[in-house]
């Protein structure tokens, strides 16, 4: 109503004046007055239309017209409309820009295909995974650029619930999972995700299960075979059945040992950080380990101990004991009779180094980087003969990693090896004085030395 009020009141005023003029001076004066007003209105209208047209042609650069009265109202409303549109255009542009930036930053390769499977758009990751270039390949048919048979088959199947797992056409080291997502009427989004790490973990899991099953199958088959033999021949001579029982016990112990190592590994893997961080009396532990080596060797090797440092370690007693025990047991098992084994504890540049040196068979250089992998063995049958599970050094590596320590391996085939557990300076600490702290109980000491 506000808008109409002004023109109506002007019209009413003009008519009123025309009527007064008619009454006062006759109809010629009234008509003359009306013609004059008409001419003024027409000219004003032409002028305002011209200003409006000029502004509408370039509203961002030309100053908006201003006027009073009805034209002022019209201009004001148009300007308001234009400002609102400009603001919403700005919002839309910034949302679009944000979306584009986000799509560019997405780590997955993304390609938008139109209804004819031509590339409309793709992000930088699609260059890394699929070798596509948004500028160069826009408008190209995707099947001419990615021509692998399994990809074409995947495209033809148009089964949007399916994912295609394949090697990247630009880098065979990368495994991709491709997925097609339909949108709009006929468009499709091709998503390429790097699943190399997932595949690797999956492969490790499969290998691990295969290895464990394999390791358990042999002793289980042996034990099962003997049980059958014993059950089927109750009159077997006592010496024979004794022998079978010994072998069964041997294989049962092997399985037990394997399960113990598996549980240790799983415990180590399930907690990233150390459960107990306590002072560990390494010189005392070294004595116990020497006794353990002698007990395992049963006089077949000479075992020496060199303790050049009284330092202790801050760490987990049980874990360190188990890691160093594995190094000692390996030295005994892989050193032929008559060989020498030396255990040493020293400080080197502030680091604490516990090393086990043997004069055994040694290891060829190409095997060394893989020794800490689970079930990796240089000589499978030698490891089994000596009761190995293939998990010892994997446990050592885990324990040392949790302590921020490292395993150094020096070895010469035919001459021997040195395995050193090197602990960082911040874990090496002086032995506690009687006033400063209590001595750490060492449960194995009595048994090992006794
Ligand atoms: P295993 O139970 O087979 O001994 P480990 O993980 O302890 O498993 O060791 C992995 C492999 O490293 C062993 O199978 C063996 O081939 C090699 N190895 C470990 N310690 C020694 C050593 N002191 N001398 C020679 N070879 C060794």
pLDDT of residue 2: 62
pLDDT of residue 238: 86
pLDDT of residue 446: 38
Verify whether ligand 1 is closer than 6 Å to residue 383 (CB atom): yes
pLDDT of residue 276: 74
pLDDT exceeds 80 at position 436: no
Range of the domain at 261: 200-269
pLDDT of residue 443: 42
- Give the relative orientation of helices 27-57 and 69-105 as an angle to the nearest 10 degrees: 10
Domain total of the chain:
4
Order of all β-strands in the sheet with 340-348: 302-307, 340-348, 351-358, 416-423, 406-412
H/E element holding 183? Answer: strand 175-183
pLDDT of residue 3: 63
Q: Which DSSP letter does residue 173 get?
A: T
For residue 231, give the CATH number of its domain.
1.10.287.130
pTM of the predicted structure, to 2 decimals: 0.68
pLDDT exceeds 60 at position 1: no
Task: Report CA(450)–ligand 1 centroid distance (Å).
Answer: 28
Atom 2, ligand 1: residue with shortest CA distance:
388
pLDDT exceeds 90 at position 432: no
For residue 345, what are its two tokens? 């504890």
Atom 14, ligand 1: residue with shortest CA distance:
377
Residue 448 lies in a domain: no
On whether both 174 and 294 belong to a single domain, the answer is no
Burial of 122: CB neighbours in 10 Å, binned 0-12, 13-18, 19+? buried
pLDDT by residue (tens digit) across 353-383?
A: 999 999 999 999 999 999 999 999 998 888 8
Task: Outline where 158-281 has alpha helix (H).
Answer: 196-232, 238-270
pLDDT exceeds 50 at position 201: yes
Please state, in angstroms and rounded to a whole number, the distance separating the CA atoms of residues 166 and 215. Answer: 32
Residue 444 lies in a domain: no
Dihedral sign, CA of 319, 320, 323, 328?
Answer: negative
Verify whether ligand 1 is closer than 6 Å to residue 392 (CB atom): yes
Task: Report CA(358)–ligand 1 centroid distance (Å).
Answer: 12
Give me the count of residues in the chain. Answer: 450
| Range 23-42 average pLDDT | 91
pLDDT by residue (tens digit) across 130-175?
A: 999 989 999 999 999 999 999 999 999 989 999 999 999 999 999 9
For residue 125, give the CATH number of its domain.
3.30.450.20
Task: Report CA(380)–ligand 1 centroid distance (Å).
Answer: 9
For residue 11, what are its two tokens? 């019209």
Mean pLDDT of the chain: 90
Give yes or no for a contact between 290 and 356, defined as CB atoms under 8 angstroms apart: no
pLDDT of residue 48: 84
Beta pairing class for 302-307 and 340-348: parallel
Residue 24 lies in a domain: yes
Which of 250, 269, 288 is where one domain is finished?
269
Atom 8, ligand 1: residue with shortest CA distance:
390
On whether both 300 and 187 belong to a single domain, the answer is no
On whether both 185 and 210 belong to a single domain, the answer is no
Task: Report CA(329)–ligand 1 centroid distance (Å).
Answer: 9
Please state the atom number of ligand 1 nearest to the C-alpha of residue 394: 6
On whether both 423 and 320 belong to a single domain, the answer is yes
On whether both 335 and 391 belong to a single domain, the answer is yes
Task: Report CA(395)–ligand 1 centroid distance (Å).
Answer: 12
Q: Which residue has the tokens 């007064």?
A: 20
On whether both 405 and 301 belong to a single domain, the answer is yes
* Residue among 324, 382, 393, 400 to mutate when testing ligand 1 (max atoms within 8 A of CB): 393
On whether both 425 and 328 belong to a single domain, the answer is yes
Q: Any idea which of 29-38, 60-69, 103-112, 135-144 has the lowest mean pLDDT?
A: 60-69
Straight-line distance from the first to the last Cα atom of the chain, in angstroms, rounded to the nearest whole number: 110
On whether both 165 and 58 belong to a single domain, the answer is no
Residue 450 lies in a domain: no
pLDDT of residue 403: 94
* Residue among 262, 328, 334 to mutate when testing ligand 1 (max atoms within 8 A of CB): 334
Please state the atom number of ligand 1 nearest to the C-alpha of residue 416: 24
Verify whether ligand 1 is closer than 6 Å to residue 388 (CB atom): yes
* Residue among 341, 381, 383 to mutate when testing ligand 1 (max atoms within 8 A of CB): 383
Please state, in angstroms and rounded to a whole number, the distance separating the CA atoms of residues 331 and 339. Answer: 10
pLDDT by residue (tens digit) across 319-353?
A: 999 999 999 999 999 999 999 999 999 999 999 99
Which of 100, 132, 157 is where one domain is finished?
100
pLDDT exceeds 80 at position 78: yes
Number of other CB atoms surrounding residue 172 within 10 Å: 8
Residue 240 lies in a domain: yes
Please state, in angstroms and rounded to a whole number, the distance separating the CA atoms of residues 41 and 45. Answer: 6
Return the percent helix, strand and coil in the chain, to nearest 5.
55, 20, 25
Please state, in angstroms and rounded to a whole number, the distance separating the CA atoms of residues 384 and 397. Answer: 21
Task: Outline where 273-424 has alpha helix (H).
Answer: 282-297, 317-333, 380-385, 392-402
Verify whether ligand 1 is closer than 6 Å to residue 358 (CB atom): yes
On whether both 364 and 304 belong to a single domain, the answer is yes
Please state, in angstroms and rounded to a whole number, the distance separating the CA atoms of residues 335 and 329. Answer: 10
Which of 75, 100, 125 is where one domain is finished?
100
Residue 434 lies in a domain: no
On whether both 187 and 236 belong to a single domain, the answer is no
Residue 393 lies in a domain: yes
Task: Report CA(330)–ligand 1 centroid distance (Å).
Answer: 6
Q: Which residues contact 19 (CB under 8 A, 6 or more apart)?
A: 30
For residue 375, give the CATH number of its domain.
3.30.565.10
DSSP 218-237: HHHHHHHHHHHHHHH-TT--
Number of other CB atoms surrounding residue 5 within 10 Å: 9
Verify whether ligand 1 is closer than 6 Å to residue 377 (CB atom): yes
Residue 33 lies in a domain: yes
Please state the atom number of ligand 1 nearest to the C-alpha of residue 374: 6
- 41: confidence class by pLDDT, cuts 50, 70, 90: confident
Q: Any idea which of 181-190, 229-238, 352-361 has the lowest mean pLDDT?
A: 229-238
pLDDT of residue 274: 60
DSSP 92-121: HHHHHHHHHHHHHH-SSEEEEE-TTSBEEE
On whether both 181 and 126 belong to a single domain, the answer is yes
pLDDT of residue 275: 64
On whether both 400 and 416 belong to a single domain, the answer is yes
């Amino acid at each position: 109503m506000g808008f109409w009020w002004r023109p109506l009141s002007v019209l009413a005023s003009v008519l009123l004046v025309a009527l007064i003029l008619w009454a006062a001076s006759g109809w010629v004066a009234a008509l003359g007055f009306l013609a004059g007003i008409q001419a003024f209105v027409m000219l004003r209208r032409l002028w305002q239309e011209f200003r409006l047209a000029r502004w509408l042609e370039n509203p961002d650069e030309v100053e908006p017209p201003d006027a009073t009265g009805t034209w002022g109202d019209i201009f004001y409303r148009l300007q308001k409309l234009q400002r609102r549109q400009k603001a919403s255009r700005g919002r839309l542009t910034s949302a679009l820009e944000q979306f584009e930036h986000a799509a560019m930053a997405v780590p997955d390769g993304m390609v938008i295909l139109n209804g004819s499977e031509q590339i409309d758009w793709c992000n930088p990751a699609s260059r890394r995974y699929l070798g596509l270039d948004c500028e160069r390949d826009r408008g190209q048919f995707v099947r001419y650029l990615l021509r692998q048979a399994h990809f074409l088959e995947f495209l033809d199947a148009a089964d949007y619930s399916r994912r295609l797992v394949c090697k990247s056409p630009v880098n065979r080291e990368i495994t991709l999972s491709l997925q097609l997502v339909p949108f709009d009427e006929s468009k499709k989004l091709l998503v390429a995700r790097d699943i190399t790490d997932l595949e690797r973990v999956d492969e490790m899991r499969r290998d691990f299960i295969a290895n464990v099953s394999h390791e358990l199958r042999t002793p289980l088959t042996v034990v099962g075979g003997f049980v059958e033999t014993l059950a089927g021949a109750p009159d077997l001579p006592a010496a024979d059945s004794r022998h079978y029982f010994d072998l069964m016990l041997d294989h049962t112990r092997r399985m037990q040992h394997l399960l113990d190592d598996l549980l240790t590994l799983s415990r180590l893997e399930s907690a990233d950080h150390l459960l107990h961080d306590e002072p560990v009396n390494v010189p005392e532990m070294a004595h116990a380990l020497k006794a353990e080596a002698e007990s395992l060797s049963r006089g077949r090797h000479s075992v020496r101990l060199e303790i050049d440092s009284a330092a202790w370690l801050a760490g987990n007693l049980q874990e360190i004991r188990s890691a160093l025990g594995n190094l000692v047991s390996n030295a005994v098992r892989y050193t032929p009779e008559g060989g020498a084994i030396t255990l040493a504890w020293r400080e080197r540049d502030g680091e604490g180094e516990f090393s086990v040196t043997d004069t055994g068979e040694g290891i060829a250089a190409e095997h060394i980087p893989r020794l800490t992998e689970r079930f990796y063995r240089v000589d499978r049958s030698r490891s089994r003969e000596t009761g190995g599970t293939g998990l010892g050094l994997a446990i050592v590596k885990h324990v040392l990693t949790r302590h921020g320590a490292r395993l150094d391996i020096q070895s010469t085939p035919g001459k021997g090896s040195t395995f050193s557990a090197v602990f960082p300076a911040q874990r090496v600490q002086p032995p506690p004085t009687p006033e400063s702290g209590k001595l750490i109980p060492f449960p194995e000491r009595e048994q090992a030395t006794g």
